[in-house]
Amino acid sequence: MKFITSLLIAFLTAFSVQAAEKVEPSKVNVGIYLENVNSISYSKNSYQVDFTVWFRWSDKKIHPNKTFKIKNAKIDSRKDVFSGDVNNGKEHLEVIDVSATFNTQWDINDYPFDNQTLKIAIEEDEDDPATETLYVVDEGNIKPSKQLEIPAWRVRSEKSFVTCNTYETSYGNPALMDQKTCSTQFNHYVEIEKKSELIGFKLLVAPIIAVLLMMFVVLLPALEGPRMGVPGTALFVLVSCSFIIVNQLPPSEGFSYAEKLISFGLLQCLLHLCMTVVSMKYLKDGKVEKSLRLDHILLVIVLISNLIFGVYTFYVISL
């Protein structure tokens, strides 16, 4: 009886040790090819991409083509393109066409001369520690798409890499409670830039002309009609452009370049109108020299501020 009990204890101990051993992750080669970027929406903080993703692995116990998920995205459609064994039956390959809409937070600091990064992140959605997978970039088969067309944009670079993510929850699975391993994530980043700076200037041509006109009208005497008429018209133009730009951009605590330009123009309008009123008062009171001195001060302020903002504009465009 003692012998049987000892055998039973030894068996249970061996089983427990085996169960406690760390499960070796199964290697999965992941690759991607972008087909189309159909839409980029600033106001909705989203972009829509059609791409082909493939998984190649040898462990028959896993099915990464069925258990993957795309982070921060909604899969609009998916289609299995190929399923079969490769490398003389040593590995299994699954190729899938995916169309997905991604949520993002655009960097609008330099808008409309901005560069952006489109991010596609794929990770395993299986919480069973017995089927842990390890994503590996299929570098030998990933090639940038030379035919990828994005209206008003061009592709600056593409890169793929794998990161290791840990989460502060077990998702209700007790087996994951004390697990220190991470979940690998396949990432594909596409850096894009505007095809031409003219695309940005087309949006800003009205506020730019308004600011430049205010600079030249300072040369006129304070009592001349354009000294008050031009800033008033510029104010209307700037407010209208501000309304258009705000409706194109998502809510943000910061200021884009376009908003900075309009704010700069509005401040110039305010300064121009205030100093012109004071200069007109001096002229009506017969204080011609004070009026001219005030106009000269306004001209210097406008010239220096426009020069500084012009240098800043050159810096933004050159990024």
What whole-number distance in Å separates Cα of residue 55 and Cα of residue 34? 15
Residue 3 has pLDDT above 60, yes or no: no
Residue 94 has pLDDT above 90, yes or no: yes
Q: pLDDT tens digits for 192-251?
A: 999 888 888 888 999 999 988 888 888 888 888 888 888 889 999 999 999 989 888 988
Using the structure block, give the residue that is written with the tokens 């921060």. Answer: 72
Helical (H) or strand (E) element with 208: helix 198-217
> How would residue 32 be classed by pLDDT, with cut points 50, 70 and 90?
very high
Residue 12 has pLDDT above 90, yes or no: no
3-state helix, strand, coil in the chain (%, to 5): 40, 30, 30
Report the pLDDT value the prediction gives residue 269, as an integer from 0 to 100: 92
Q: Is the C-alpha dihedral spanning 24, 29, 34, 38 positive or negative?
A: negative
Q: What is the pTM of this model?
A: 0.80
The per-residue DSSP string of 76-97 comes to EEEEEEEEEEETTTTEEEEEEE
* Mean pLDDT confidence for 118-140: 82
> How would residue 19 be classed by pLDDT, with cut points 50, 70 and 90?
very low
Report the pLDDT value the prediction gives residue 308, as an integer from 0 to 100: 94
> How would residue 1 be classed by pLDDT, with cut points 50, 70 and 90?
low
* Cβ contact 207:262 at 8 Å: yes
Report the pLDDT value the prediction gives residue 169, as an integer from 0 to 100: 66
> How would residue 20 be classed by pLDDT, with cut points 50, 70 and 90?
very low
For a pLDDT cut of 90, what percent of the chain falls above it? 55
Report the pLDDT value the prediction gives residue 125, as an integer from 0 to 100: 79
Q: pLDDT tens digits for 253-273?
A: 889 999 999 999 999 999 999
Q: pLDDT tens digits for 149-188?
A: 888 899 999 999 999 877 666 666 666 666 555 678 999 9
Residue 126 has pLDDT above 80, yes or no: no
Residue 80 has pLDDT above 90, yes or no: yes
Domains and CATH numbers, the chain: 22-194 (2.70.170.10), 198-318 (1.20.58)
Report the pLDDT value the prediction gives residue 7, as an integer from 0 to 100: 46
Length of the chain, please? 319
For a pLDDT cut of 70, what percent of the chain falls above it? 86
* Cβ contact 182:164 at 8 Å: yes
Q: Chain-wide mean pLDDT for the chain?
A: 86
